[in-house]
Structure 1
């Protein structure tokens, strides 16, 4: 459409569709899932998780349950510490419908000097979004839920999700990585959000 045609349009002729209303069933599932995620203030979120040494059916059942919880909560990643388990593992899925990624005992072997700031949220920090600077590319070694070795090279959103979840395993939250001004503002909003949850 040319500029001249744009100028001739009456704003009243332009229809703006409202965003689709969220599915009530999906949102109800999300609310229930979030009740099972540990929130800011829980000591487990500030504790370093322990290496996993047993790769058994219980571990595989646990990772499957974490994947379901993450999906129900509409998240893209979930660390074991967020469900109260001090184990070095997390699950993630950055593309809807893709297989669930399970990383056990993950270690970042290399990260790029190229970094970028992007806004991040967290299932453990309701209603909070803050800017966090992270390397754009990473290479990670880990094990899968069967104990088999994995090596993953990730960029963009996948790299960011991996680093975010690995931070959880070290007791580090996005509030620890955001600029001081944003941190103060976010903590005030977080206290209000958590108070609202306790007294609906």
Structure 2
């Protein structure tokens, strides 16, 4: 397993729609292991493959997130469903935009269906922080960052921080979720 550098905002791979995983082999298993190792080293709640420069539809999540009864540590080719209209609004950050935490509106409950690295079907039923994490990481697979969900004040704060950090120019766009 390898800890891989996390791509920062402004890197084009973070704005691309990731391709579905179609081959379930040792290379994919290593990628899942590397994602988990990198996530553990970063101390984050989740990490999507595009954040380490791989344009595939998979992400790692911290298996100890509240509500993760499966103790699942990854999801491949996720599809999201929302069982109700309840929302949550709370602080959110991103390993690709370090040091920025802003209140972000998300659905409170989510059902995520996908597969494991072995191609076995799996479903995550999440609430609260787990639901937030699954939505955040799925956004990454669609080329969307949490900053795209911000109001004008939040966007201004993020752009100011990016300028101060001398990161490449960031784009803000709308999430499909």
Task: Give TM-score scaled by structure 1 length.
Answer: 0.76
Kindly indicate whether the alpha-carbon contact (under 8 Å) linking 2:63 and 2:71 is maintained by their aligned counterparts in 1: no
Structure with the higher helix share, 1 or 2: 1
Q: Could you list the runs of 5+ residues in structure 2 that have no partner in the other structure?
A: 168-177
Q: Could you say what the CA RMSD is over the residues aligned between the two structures, in angstroms?
A: 1.9
Q: SS state of the match for residue 9, structure 2?
A: coil
Kindly indicate whether the alpha-carbon contact (under 8 Å) linking 2:82 and 2:107 is maintained by their aligned counterparts in 1: no
1:28-107 equivalences under 5 Å are 36-93=5-62, 95=64, 99=71, 101-107=73-79
Q: Distance in 1 between matches of 2:54 and 2:111?
A: 25
Q: SS state of the match for residue 62, structure 1?
A: helix
The match for 1:169 among 115, 124, 141 is 141
The match for 1:132 among 104, 111, 130 is 104
Q: Distance in 2 between matches of 1:118 and 1:152?
A: 21
* Equivalent pairs, count: 162
The match for 1:144 among 113, 116, 122 is 116
Q: Distance in 2 between matches of 1:100 and 1:153?
A: 11
User: Which structure exhibits the higher relative contact order, with contacts defined as CA atoms closer than 8 Å and separated by 6 or more residues?
Assistant: 2
Q: Could you list the runs of 5+ residues in structure 1 that have no partner in the other structure?
A: 1-32, 196-200
List structure 1 runs of 4+ shifted beyond 2 angstroms: 109-112
Q: SS state of the match for residue 98, structure 2?
A: strand
Given the superposition, is the C-alpha separation of residues 147 and 43 from structure 1 closer, same or farther in structure 2, using an over 3 Å criterion?
Answer: same
